[in-house]
Each structure stands twice: as structure tokens, then as C-alpha cells.
Structure 1
Amino acid sequence: MTQQPTTAPIPWTTIGMVVAWYGSNIGVLLLNKYLLTNYGFKYPIFLTLCHMTACTLFSYIAIALMKVVPLQTVKSKVQFAKISGLSVVFCFSVVCGNVSLRYLPVSFNQAIGATTPFFTAVFAFFIIKKREAWLTYTTLIPVVTGVIIASGGEPSFHLFGFIMCITATAARAFKSVLQEILLSSEGERLNSMNLLLYMAPIAVTCLLPATLIMEENVVGITIDLARKDVKLIWYLFFNSSLAYFVNLTNFLVTKHTSALTLQVLGNAKGAVAVVVSILMFKNPVSLMGMVGYALTVLGVILYSEAKKRYS
């Protein structure tokens, strides 16, 4: 009598990492929304500057002091220039995403963000001539169709917020393709934690003048607001810390699970964020909007399956 193979149970540490990843990712998203709309802190560039400053500090502590991962050095000026280019695109995407949260509910923001695979496929096709199977491209139709339906049925639709969110999503996709081009050689590859260690301070140097020019006297205004309500300082600190832990937990989950598991978890995370945001902010949601978002998520799942099968 042959014994049937048993599936190894998922370690509690892995479950804990996934929960931490979900919590930090959804937490920073909801807290961004709360600060930028409900709380009235209307400074998305300064908020992003806080995030990147925290990422700079925590990355140094985690890698240089705590040795969470081995330190990878930048080996040439050319490699540094490539990392700087990635940092600018990354920074631009985060700023646009934060700006969009001033005008759009989190649920609609996540529906648009789910179209990242569409933009990635488009950029990969035109920039690096990477072609996928036709079935893979076909699965992108419900991804885009779902967002169109969700846009038509969104009670809180705002054109400028929609443009900013689409821009942020496209910029994220462009960064991933750019990263594949710029850091493609084995000697230049950096893990995500080391890449963040070098990108974050570059982002700070870009965001600082942008904040001072575009959000005039934001530091003085923040200090005045903090004097009236000291909780603002704690909100900013906790929010910025979460922004770093999103990257840390994403790295750890990637390390302890498969790429496919990460895709499935990522799709589910967006749906969880939508439900939690609707419960928290009570934003109106139409049936058409929910159908559109569900169609987009279905398209992303089909796209992931097609990529796995034909790549």
C-alpha cells in the first residue's frame, strides 16, 4: 500500500510575513488617504518626502547595522546613474499616487492600480520588443474593460485624480521595465532592499526642492498644525515607517514564497484593500463599479496564468 504524499504545512513565520505585508501595505494606503483628505493635510509631495526619508534611515539601519541582508555595493558611476534614473521614475510614481488619493476613493484607486500588468506589457513590447503569446495579450482586454466600466460607475469620479492615478500606475510599470533593462547584467543586479537603500536618498534630494517650490512653507504649516494637534507628528511618523515596512515585508514574502504565490497574494491584497477602505471611509460604491473592479481582477488573474503557461 503506497502512502500518499502529504502537503507540507505553511510555516507560521511565512503566514506572519504575509499578514505583516498586507497590514503595512493596506495601512499606508488608508493612512495616506486619511491624511490627504479626511485630516486635511493637503501636501502629497511632502508626505512622499517623509516616506523616502524614513526609507533612507530604516534601510541603513536594516542593512548596514542589523545585517538583515548583505550590503551590495554600487560598482561604477554608470550603475549609479542607472539607479538614479530608476529613483526619479519611482519617486514620480509615488507622488502621483499620493496626489490621486486626494481626489479618488481608495477602492477606485486600487481598481486603476490593478491595470499595472497592462502597462507593463505595453512598455515591454515597445521598449525592449518583448512579445507575449496572443492569449496573454487577450487576457488584458478584461483588465482595461473593467476599469472603463468602473470609471463609468464611480460616484466619486474625479478627472484630475483619475489622470494622476493612471500616470502613477503607468510609471510603476515603466520602472519595472526600466529596471529590467538598466540592471540586467549579473554584476549590476541588486536585491530590492539594497536597491531601496540607494534609491531612497536620491529620491529625497529630488523631492526636497520640489516640496519647497511646489508646496511653499509646508514645513512651517506642518509645525503649526502639529502645535494644534500633536497627533499629526505621530501620524506622519507611523505612516512613513509603514512605507518602509511595505518594502521590507514584500522582500521577505518574495524570499519565502514562490513568484506565483506572490501574484495570487497581490491580487487578493487589492481586493482586501477595497473592502477595508469602503468599510472605513464609507465612500459610495455602485454595482457597476464593483462589477468593473471584479472584471479587472479576473483579467489580472487570467494574465498571470497565461504568463505562467506561455513564458
Structure 2
Amino acid sequence: MGKGGSLSDNVIKSIILSYTYVSIWIFLSFTVIVYNKYILDKKLYNWPFPISLTMIHMSFCASLAFLLVKVFRFVDPVSMSKDLYISSVVPIGALYSLSLWLSNSAYIYLSVSFIQMLKALMPVAVYSIGVLFKKDSFKTDTMINMVSISFGVAIAAYGEARFDTWGVMLQLGAVAFEATRLVLIQILLSSKGITLNPITSLYYVAPCCLVFLLVPWIFVEYPVLKETSSFAFDFVIFGTNSFCAFALNLAVFLLVGKTSALTMNVAGVVKDWLLIAFSWSVIKDTVTPINLFGYGLAFLGVAYYNHAKLQALKAKEAEMKVAQTDEEAHSHRLLEEKPGSGNDK
């Protein structure tokens, strides 16, 4: 096969790998969400202790991350001072623990499909908090797009058959904390040139999350667990559930590392539609036409947002290529002029 055929084979291989990473991430994200719903829902497994479940996840992930970093040396730890850990990782860990706690709590009160619809507000929250922290600049067209997404989610909420105010407040709180965490990662870590992959992130952040979750657990869930004797631990259920949560973090690393964060955003939209269909057809959650119409509007807004980000990314790459070409041309001219100037003498 010729050179052109070899190139085609490489392109096909790259496409197949990209779709494989996307499929693995969608499958694991789908599995973790449905599994958490199964454990926490009072009508299913009936173990409504979201803080305890989150702590089990964090303990499992922290232990595996420690083994991979310190024992098996699978990845190298990031050089980090005590001051940097306290000023950067601790706030991020606190926000992450709150986000996980509230999002898991929402599964007790809301359907899987409606939670996915509410999660469509994530770009709105990230952009708004980014503007608030002066990480993003305010743009009228972007804000109009954010309003359209919010309007679509509001319509979906209006049409929700099992609307629960407390559950909605929990999920919106989870979105707000998660968006703040993502912005702070950019401000506190990326600005200092520190990048954490999912393994090193869990290595540093998971123990911090455990400490923050321990306080509300002692006052909120421990007395109930003690009184109802719900400490019986099903190693199969919670072990496989925790392993799926850890595997999801690795899948994020593969997907973002081998493709891009934008690809994960687009894949997330596909996953949300699959979860809504699954929730309606298998779990038998009620999905109304108003639900779908509202989420459809929000979906169009999110799709446009992702398209705008892709165009901005392409424009930035084009500018970098032009700048690199100009720099190379300038260097080439200097090399050509150097012998000439010597001859003039």
C-alpha cells in the first residue's frame, strides 16, 4: 500500500480510537448515574445515604490512587508545596465534596431524566461564574445563548411530572458548586502551570473530600445509620459501584487526553439523551412532551455553545499557525541577510 493508503489507515485508526474513547466514557458515565440512582432511590435498593455513598467512593478512589502513584508508580506525583495545597487543592476539594454530596442527594427526589435536563445548566453556571471571577469576558451574544438554555430548562421543569422543589434546589446547588470548582481549577492550578490528571487529582483531592464530608456525615447520617443498623455493607454492590466511579475518572482522562474537552461536552449531550430514553423506557419515569420540548430548546443552546467554542478554538489555532509562519519567515530572512551584509563589507 502506498503512502496515501498508509495515511488513510492512520486516519481510520484515529477515528475508531476516538469513537472507542467516547463510547467507553458514555457507558461508564451512564452506568455510574444509573447505579447511584439504584442504590439511593427508596423504591429500589433503598439506601438513601448520599454522604455515606460519596465517602465510600472517595475512600475507594483515594486508596487506588495512592497505590497507583506511590506503590506501582503508574503516574508521578505533582510537585506541590504545603501552601499551594492549602490555598488551591483544599478549596477545590471542598467544592467537589459539596457538588458530589448534593448531586447524589438529588437522586432520592428526582428522576434520572429530569436531573439530566437540569445539568444542561452547567455551561450557564460555568460562564456566569467565569465572568464573575473575571476569567471570561462578558459577551452579549454568549449571554443571550445562556438565557436561551436557562429558558429551555425552565420549560422542562414546568413540564416535570415529579417536580420536587427540594430535589431541584439540591441539583442546582450541585451545578453551582461544580461550576465554581471548574473555574477555580483554571484560576488556582492552571495559572500556576499545574495540571492534574484524574489519578493525581484523586490522589490529592479525594482525602480532602473525605475530611469535608466527615463533618456533615457525623451530624446528618451517622445517627440514622446507627439507629437503623444500616451499617451492613454489601461488598458486591458498593465495591462494583465504587470501581465504576474510579473507572469513569480514568475514562475522562482518556477522552480528554486523546481527543479534547470539547469532544467530552458533545459526547455528554449524547449521553443525556440516552439517559432520558433509558429513564423513560426502562425505569418507567414519566417524561412529558413539555419536558422534551424544553430540553430540546436547552439542547439547541448547548449545541450552539459547543459550536461557538469549536470555532473560537479553530480561530485561535489559525492565529498561532500564522504567528509561527511569520516567525519562521522572519528567521529565514535574517539568515539570508547575514551573508549578504558580510559581502557588502
Task: State the alpha-carbon separation in 2 of the partners of residues 218 and 66 from structure 1.
Answer: 39
Q: For 1:24, give the aligned amino acid.
A: L
**Deviation of the 1:40 alpha carbon:** 1.2
Q: Note the aligned Cα RMSD (angstroms).
A: 2.3
Point out the structure with max Rg over C-alpha.
2
Task: State the alpha-carbon separation in 2 of the partners of residues 289 and 235 from structure 1.
Answer: 32
* Equivalent in the alignment of 1:267: 269
**Deviation of the 1:286 alpha carbon:** 0.4
* Residue 124 of structure 2 is aligned to residue 122 of structure 1: no
Task: State the alpha-carbon separation in 2 of the partners of residues 217 and 176 from structure 1.
Answer: 33
* Equivalent in the alignment of 2:78: 72
User: Is the CA contact (8 Å cut-off) linking 2:145 and 2:301 kept in structure 1?
Assistant: yes
User: Is the CA contact (8 Å cut-off) linking 1:55 and 1:244 kept in structure 2?
Assistant: yes
**Deviation of the 1:243 alpha carbon:** 1.4
Task: State the alpha-carbon separation in 2 of the partners of residues 252 and 33 from structure 1.
Answer: 25
User: Is the CA contact (8 Å cut-off) linking 2:135 and 2:187 kept in structure 1?
Assistant: no
For structure 1, the 5+ residue unaligned runs are none
User: Is the CA contact (8 Å cut-off) linking 1:119 and 1:170 kept in structure 2?
Assistant: yes
Q: How does 1:51-200 map to 2 (within 5 A)?
A: 51-128=57-134, 130-200=136-206
* Bigger Cα displacement from structure 2, 86-95 vs 53-62: 53-62
Alpha-carbon displacement from aligned partner over 1:192-250 (angstroms, at most 9, x marks no partner): 43122100011112212321211134555786574xxx7x4321111111111111110
| Equivalent residue for 2:35, pick from 31, 46, 53 | 31
User: Is the CA contact (8 Å cut-off) linking 1:79 and 1:188 kept in structure 2?
Assistant: no
Task: State the alpha-carbon separation in 2 of the partners of residues 130 and 44 from structure 1.
Answer: 33
- SS of equivalent residue, structure 1 residue 42: coil
* Residue 290 of structure 2 is aligned to residue 284 of structure 1: no
Task: State the alpha-carbon separation in 1 of the partners of residues 35 and 277 from structure 2.
Answer: 15
* Bigger Cα displacement from structure 2, 234-243 vs 68-77: 68-77
Q: For 2:256, give the aligned amino acid.
A: T
Paired-residue identity, %: 28
User: Is the CA contact (8 Å cut-off) linking 1:74 and 1:80 kept in structure 2?
Assistant: no
**Deviation of the 1:10 alpha carbon:** 4.2
Alpha-carbon displacement from aligned partner over 1:259-302 (angstroms, at most 9, x marks no partner): 33222112212222222222231011100001111211211110
- SS of equivalent residue, structure 1 residue 71: coil
* Residue 239 of structure 2 is aligned to residue 233 of structure 1: no
Task: State the alpha-carbon separation in 2 of the partners of residues 165 and 141 from structure 1.
Answer: 19
* Bigger Cα displacement from structure 2, 239-248 vs 111-120: 239-248
Pair 14,64 (structure 1): closer, same or farther in 2 beyond 3 Å: farther
Task: State the alpha-carbon separation in 2 of the partners of residues 310 and 133 from structure 1.
Answer: 13
Q: Which has the bigger relative contact order, CA under 8 A and spacing at least 6? A: 1
Task: State the alpha-carbon separation in 1 of the partners of residues 69 and 122 from structure 2.
Answer: 29
* Equivalent in the alignment of 2:342: none
* Equivalent in the alignment of 2:327: none
- SS of equivalent residue, structure 1 residue 290: helix
User: Is the CA contact (8 Å cut-off) linking 1:46 and 1:218 kept in structure 2?
Assistant: no
Structure 1 length-normalised TM:
0.90
Task: State the alpha-carbon separation in 1 of the partners of residues 54 and 85 from structure 2.
Answer: 25
Task: State the alpha-carbon separation in 2 of the partners of residues 135 and 154 from structure 1.
Answer: 29
